[in-house]
Amino acid sequence: MNTGTGKTALITGASSGIGQELAKLFAQDGYNLVLVARSDDKLDRLAEVFKSNYGTQEITVIGKDLATEDAAQDVYNQVKAKDITVDVLVNDAGVGLYGLFATDTDWEREKAMIHLNVLTVTQMTKLFLYDMLARNEGKILNLASLLSITPTPLMAVYAGTKAYVYNFTQSLINELKDTNVTITALLPNATDTDFFNKAGAENTKVTDEVQDPVMVAKAGYDALMAGKSKVVPGGFKNKSYEVLSYVAPQETLAAVMRDKMSQKPEPEEKEPTISLAWGIGFGIAVIAGIALTIGYKNTSDFQKAKYRYKVKSAGNSLSDTLSSVLDTVVETVVDAYQNTKAKAEQIVAKTEDVEEEIAA
């Protein structure tokens, strides 16, 4: 039963997917809500469910196309007119678009996507952040993506918009560091929502590995409440992808993502060779090993003992990661892979040095 916090969360994109799951978490925790999306009929039904299931006291529904000029200003004006103080802003509404940039995708849809994913997120943040700073209190959650840190052929403009969201968010975190206002970026891997259907990417390989939107929303919610700068939901596997994105050559990442974003193979199509797949897996294992080694070096003896246990149990997760990476390898990665493997071998040598240092 809702005890009511007296606080209000405004969630864009609350009519489905991750946004809807986030709205539910706020409702369960006693927040009043402002729900924004185009489908106000869906939002009205959701409001009824929240009121009856969780006793939510105040729910304001704003049906608005956020890909239109000054949409954010209009939402802000409606909120102010109702004298609502927004304590938490969630910029979730976003769309993708699938296809080759030069020849396949439609400019009008691309323009609308940039408007929604970039302009509106920026303007919403500007308007509500100003008021939060005046009160020296507030929280913002921005929906970025693992694609924020990975070049993504066949979804090039979408990935560009999410790179903007992530970079923008991390810059603001620094600007806000001496205040009580926090801003958090949520970077999900592919998630089981209507996103890929709407983007025209429903038959791509990446849709074979989607994760649960309930888990993604909970990870984002917890990170937001804790005032963290970012969160990558999905445990060790997605953390490995994140680390890999920071250190692997961009052209290698682009080739891997090109394969992930390609159409699912026909049953008779040739699968990638085992040796190549193991090579890429080896690269990931090395990177994960470096992260673990650095962590190990900087911990107390007691923590080191715990760490050794964790390393052992991480073995299973790592092998899951490796087998999932097998699916992403294509012939076009071969050249880039040779470079990566050579670099990985150098890193292994350095890692062994560090291990010897630790042992000494």
Ligand X SMILES: NC(=O)c1ccc[n+]([C@@H]2O[C@H](COP(=O)([O-])OP(=O)(O)OC[C@H]3O[C@@H](n4cnc5c(N)ncnc54)[C@H](OP(=O)(O)O)[C@@H]3O)[C@@H](O)[C@H]2O)c1
Stretch that binds ligand X, among 81-89, 184-192, 316-324, 344-352 (CB under 6 A): 184-192
Q: Which of 138, 188, 281, 283 binds ligand X (CB under 6 A)?
A: 188
In the complex, least distance from residue 159 CB atom to ligand X, rounded to whole angstroms? 10
In the complex, least distance from residue 325 CB atom to ligand X, rounded to whole angstroms? 18
Residue 38 vs 310, nearer CB to ligand X: 38
Q: In whole angstroms, give the CA distance from residue 309 to residue 313.
A: 6
Instruction: Check if the beta carbon of residue 258 is closer than 8 Å to that of residue 156.
Output: no
Q: Is 151 in the site for ligand X (CB under 6 A)?
A: no
CB atoms within 10 A of CB 38: 15
Touching ligand X, residues 47-106 (CB under 6 A): 65-67, 92-95
Residue 38 vs 343, nearer CB to ligand X: 38
Q: Is 220 in the site for ligand X (CB under 6 A)?
A: no
Q: Is 156 in the site for ligand X (CB under 6 A)?
A: no
Residue 168 vs 195, nearer CB to ligand X: 195
Rounded alpha-carbon distances, angstroms, from residue 358 to 215, 294, 301, 312:
37, 10, 11, 18
Q: Is 190 in the site for ligand X (CB under 6 A)?
A: yes
Q: In whole angstroms, give the CA distance from residue 300 to residue 305.
A: 9
User: What DSSP line would sit under 80-141, residue for residue?
Assistant: HHTT---SEEEE-------S-TTTTS-HHHHHHHHIIIIIIHHHHHHHHHHHHHHHT-EEEE
Residue 144 vs 285, nearer CB to ligand X: 144
* DSSP H or E run through 148: none
Q: Which residue has the tokens 């916090």?
A: 5
Residue 72 vs 172, nearer CB to ligand X: 72
Residues known to be catalytic: 158
Q: Is 209 in the site for ligand X (CB under 6 A)?
A: no
CA 281 to chain centroid, in Å, comes to 23
CB atoms within 10 A of CB 116: 21
Q: Is 25 in the site for ligand X (CB under 6 A)?
A: no
Task: Please report, as ranges, the residues that interact with ligand X according to CB under 6 A.
Answer: 13-19, 37-39, 65-67, 92-95, 116, 143, 145, 188, 190-191, 193-195, 198
